[in-house]
Structure 1
């Protein structure tokens, strides 16, 4: 059968956009569709009065992989934004990640050796050797003061469960620095695309046939008929009509507000740890790009339980869901003409550089056989 396209890409986030670009570059006929009314997946930015608003939560590009950094910079220049979030807890502001500034704010200590001694004392007081849940894991890593002030309530809001009911693997480690360094990431390369992430997606998809507002699964018979291969970036369980059951997620709700003030909070990201505050953080978008506008745009981020009517953001990678995912993955691997990729198809939380690496790996497997 003479099909119009070599590849139909279902989903225009980073996995789909990178794969589409690389296939198109190799002379393949490519079409990209997306269920939403815009391209870019969760990195899409909405221009509100000249401010690039991260519609689906803060996205800061960071990587230690020089090749990935060079890859994205060929499409759009990145600015020098460094992520230095703050946490508001029990009436005080604390620097994140845990560093000498945090320890001074918490204990009044400014000598690294004194902090090391204090941390050891805090950990030893808890006496936990074999952590059975997230609470015990955190206590075994940083002790009671840090846990109760900066971890417990925020984590329980984020996941909607008591920390004693959450698996320990969620925080396998907690970064602790004995320097006055508020840079959240340790990666060598970090920044935000100048002009927002849409410029990156638009450059990746330049010259490629794209269409939004298209639900692949509702139209799969027709859409399969127009392409030799499908690159599917949606939920893997949904692709198979939930044959083995639903994979679980946490979701988010965003409330965005335009404010008639030049500077609302003085920082791009401030976490709100206390349980009596219903949101987990406020994002002030202009600070991602050092904006000088006379107004500002903020977004409050509310975690929520997920159901089929909501966006799936964070996979719940516990033993039950991982076992379920493996069953779906086995079915997926047996399909000859469908490539599954991205955070929903792979049921994995990805940072942006990891999604790009995953897509480039899929490209290599597909075209360098």
Structure 2
């Protein structure tokens, strides 16, 4: 059969592009090396609970166009992300807010909290932050940094906080209100019935053929010769045979358990911020959908050093890796018949709404409408 496109990967970028191409009458072949569709947003049902197989995924965006777009594939609930931090048995609210400051310092007003942070920042003699530790202390003070940032962050990235770039911590919200909502975005929720259905609907066209357990690199030359255009969402350095060096990632291991109890931790996400606990967080999946099932499913998330063959989750966007990626990006620009996309193709940390936005931009550029 003659195809117009080969799409490598059934995550959001590849699936959105496939859906939009098929809408325009194009024939699309989609391959994925895993045995299921939907990439890292894949959910599977266990005991009536939608289990996020590759970590917690909460959809959030300020973009009405993106929100309307994804809602055509699923109905979303009103879930609000309000994780809590567990530091050696002490429980604190995340994001850092007045509830956090009150429990830690006994302060009641935003002004008192700001004065406490400023006092600790001055005591640490921090001018312009040059690393994550300095950035964190300047944002939230020494106490919160030591209890709620340092251990978690060093586990997550496998490096000392003083060796990590300052920008990483800037993603963490700090609020001087009693608001436990982690995201300030206007639209937020979890698809009722899980994420997999979204990709199933995107790939349901008769013009789209899906092949699972198909590794692009097992037939790379054949694919390059057979398809006029390729949408590639794998690792960009692997595509080019690592000729400029290997880009670094952090990987994860998941330990999922079905428990014969109704409620294990009382919240969907609990972060473990001390250095001694080997996992960074525990996810209790039923709370994403306000579940009342008699049993529960939990997942412990263990960060690990990425090695070739492991699943790459978080790009290490430090100066060295960004320099290597720039070389790959410049090389990729010389291949107009290949579109690189997604976290791995663009070596960038994307949230789900950002991936959809990037895919729709690629669609507009490709089809000029």
Aligned pairs for 1:209-220 (under 5 A) are 209-220=209-220
C-alpha separation in 1, matches of 2:276 and 2:243? 39
Residue 246 of structure 1 aligns with which residue? 246
CA contact (8 A) 2:59 2:190 kept: yes
Quick one: which of 25, 28, 37 aligns to 2:26? Answer: 28
Match of 2:190 among 192, 208, 218: 192
Could you tell me how far 1:173 is from its partner in structure 2? 6.0
Q: Which runs of 5+ in 1 are unaligned?
A: none
Within a 5 Å distance, the mapping from 1:90-239 to structure 2 comes to 90-172=88-170, 174-207=172-205, 208-239=208-239
Residues 230-288 of structure 1: per-residue CA shift (max 9 Å, x gap): 10000000001111110000100000000000110110000001111000000000111
Instruction: Measure how far apart 1:316 and its partner are.
Output: 0.5
Residues 115-163 of structure 1, C-alpha deviations (whole Å, 9 max, x = no match)? 2222222222222102222111211222211111111111111111111
Whole-Å separation in 2 of the counterparts to 1:169 and 1:255: 30
TM-score, normalized by length of structure 1?
0.97
Please give the alpha-carbon distance, in whole angstroms, between the structure 2 residues aligned to 1:75 and 1:294: 29
Query: Which of these residues, 4, 11, 14, is aligned with residue 12 of structure 2?
Result: 14
Measure how far apart 1:69 and its partner are: 0.2
Distance of 2:153 and 2:336 partners within structure 1: 41
- Shift in Å at residue 174 of structure 1? 4.3
Count of equivalent residues: 367
Corresponding residue of 1:305: 305
> Is residue 71 of structure 1 aligned with residue 69 of structure 2?
yes
Q: Distance in 1 between matches of 2:318 and 2:254?
A: 26
Contact 1:12 1:32 in 2 (8 A): yes
Aligned: 1:277 with 2:277 = yes
2:251, 2:306 within 8 Å by CA — same for their partners in 1? yes
Q: Is the 8 A contact 1:127 1:140 kept in 2?
A: no
> Is the Cα contact below 8 Å between 1:125 and 1:143 reproduced in 2?
no
For the residues of structure 2 that align with 1:116 and 1:133, how far apart are their CA atoms? Answer: 22
1:322 partner SS: helix
CA displacement at 1:40 relative to structure 2 = 0.3
- 1:191, 1:28 → 2: CA distance? 32
- Shift of the alpha carbon at 1:361? 0.4
Name stretches of at least 5 consecutive residues in structure 2 with no aligned partner.
none
Q: Is the 8 A contact 2:234 2:344 kept in 1?
A: yes
C-alpha distance in structure 2 between counterparts of 1:77 and 1:33, whole Å = 27
RMSD (CA atoms): 1.2
In 1, the alpha carbon distance for the partners of 2:329 and 2:289 equals 39
Deviation, structure 1 residue 170: 1.6
Counterpart in 1 of 2:257?
257
Distance between the aligned counterparts of 1:245 and 1:17, measured in 2? 29
Q: Is the 8 A contact 2:13 2:233 kept in 1?
A: yes
Task: Kindly report structure 1 stretches of 4+ aligned residues shifted beyond 2 Å.
Answer: 172-175, 221-227
Query: In 2, Cα distance between the equivalents of 1:50 and 1:222?
Result: 42
Give the 3-state SS of the residue equivalent to 1:15 in structure 2: helix
Report the alpha carbon displacement of residue 175 of structure 1 after superposing the two structures with TM: 2.3
- What is the SS of the residue equivalent to 1:153? helix
- CA deviation string 1:158-199 (max 9, x = no partner): 111111121222223642211110000000000011100011
Q: Secondary structure at the match of 2:21?
A: helix
Distance 2:125 2:171 in 1: 17
Q: In the alignment, does 2:36 pair up with 1:60?
A: no
Kindly indicate whether the alpha-carbon contact (under 8 Å) linking 2:117 and 2:138 is maintained by their aligned counterparts in 1.
no
TM norm structure 2: 0.97
